[in-house]
């Protein structure tokens, strides 16, 4: 199998998945500055692979799986580890992980029982993702190179929780409604 330039976005996504391991290690070792740097590299790589895929039409079904997988692997790993080391409250980690499991589980059920799923993130989900990423960046910065005011982190914790609950409930409501309208797959 010959690889070409059109495979570059997928290679970048694979690199982002692999970056998860050193980020987790660095967080566990409480080397927050370096973990933050690698997290930033992952963010830039996410923007780059998206740009290349759109600009040059280098989209693929593999890329459609790899890109969100890389994003979720890095973000969920960061949440779990930051919760385990006491930087992010466990109640928020549970809410974030539960929401994602609920969405993925619901999507799989919908896909196999109702119809092929054409997922489109809601504005609430996009806001939630932005807040989740911002929280990870700021708590790493706060624990490492840049002490921040407590009210900023506290406000972001509660905002992230609110959008996590709201976006999870929104997905459940929208997809449950669609499922009732469309009925079950015949099979």
In this structure, are 138 and 101 located in the same domain? Answer: yes
Q: Which residue has the tokens 């996410």?
A: 46
Answer yes or no: are the C-beta atoms of 17 and 69 closer than 8 Å. yes
In this structure, are 118 and 77 located in the same domain? Answer: no
In this structure, are 120 and 154 located in the same domain? Answer: yes
In this structure, are 93 and 177 located in the same domain? Answer: yes
Distance (Å, whole) CA 120 – CA 142? 33
Average pLDDT, integer, range 32-58: 92
Cα–Cα nearest to 77, from 129, 125, 10, 28: 28
In this structure, are 77 and 98 located in the same domain? Answer: no
Q: How confident is the model at residue 37 (pLDDT cuts 50, 70, 90)?
A: very high
CA 112 to chain centre: 23
In this structure, are 61 and 118 located in the same domain? Answer: no
In this structure, are 94 and 80 located in the same domain? Answer: no
In this structure, are 59 and 144 located in the same domain? Answer: no
Q: Into how many domains does the chain fold? A: 2
Average pLDDT, integer, range 133-158: 97
Average pLDDT, integer, range 37-66: 90
Answer yes or no: are the C-beta atoms of 60 and 70 closer than 8 Å. no
- Which range marks the domain in which residue 51 is found? 1-86
Answer yes or no: are the C-beta atoms of 110 and 179 closer than 8 Å. yes
- Count Cβ atoms within 10 A of the Cβ of residue 2 and give its class: 0-12 exposed, 13-18 middle, 19 or more buried: exposed
Q: How confident is the model at residue 75 (pLDDT cuts 50, 70, 90)?
A: very high
Name the average pLDDT for the chain.
91
The predicted-structure confidence for 111-127, as pLDDT tens digits, reads as follows 888 888 777 788 999 99
In this structure, are 7 and 63 located in the same domain? Answer: yes
Q: How confident is the model at residue 186 (pLDDT cuts 50, 70, 90)?
A: low
Q: What is the percent of the chain where pLDDT is above 90?
A: 63
Answer yes or no: are the C-beta atoms of 76 and 100 closer than 8 Å. yes
Answer yes or no: are the C-beta atoms of 183 and 114 closer than 8 Å. yes
Last residue of a domain, one of 32, 58, 86: 86
Report which of residues 2 and 186 the model is more confident about. Answer: 2
Q: How many CB atoms lie within 10 A of CB 119?
A: 12
State residue 141 phi and psi, 5-degree precision. Answer: -65, -45
Distance (Å, whole) CA 24 – CA 129? 19
In this structure, are 71 and 113 located in the same domain? Answer: no
In this structure, are 110 and 142 located in the same domain? Answer: yes
In this structure, are 94 and 71 located in the same domain? Answer: no
Cα–Cα nearest to 102, from 29, 23, 173: 173
Answer yes or no: are the C-beta atoms of 98 and 126 closer than 8 Å. no
């Amino acid at each position: 199998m010959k690889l070409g330039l059109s495979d570059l976005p997928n290679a970048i996504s694979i690199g982002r998945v692999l970056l998860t391991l050193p980020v987790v290690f660095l967080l566990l070792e409480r080397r927050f500055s370096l973990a933050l740097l690698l997290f930033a590299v992952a963010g830039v790589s996410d923007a780059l692979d998206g740009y290349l895929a759109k600009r040059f039409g280098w989209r693929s079904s593999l890329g459609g799986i790899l890109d969100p997988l890389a994003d979720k692997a890095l973000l969920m790993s960061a949440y779990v580890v930051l919760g385990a080391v006491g930087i992010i409250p466990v109640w928020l980690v549970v809410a974030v992980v539960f929401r994602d499991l609920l969405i993925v589980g619901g999507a799989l059920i919908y896909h196999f029982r109702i119809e092929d799923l054409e997922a489109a993130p809601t504005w609430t989900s996009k806001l939630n993702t932005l807040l989740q990423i911002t929280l990870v960046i700021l708590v790493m910065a706060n624990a490492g190179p840049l002490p921040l005011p407590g009210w900023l982190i506290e406000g972001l914790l509660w905002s992230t929780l609110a959008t996590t609950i709201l976006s999870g409930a929104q997905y459940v409501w929208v997809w449950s409604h669609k499922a009732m309208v469309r009925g079950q797959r015949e099979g």
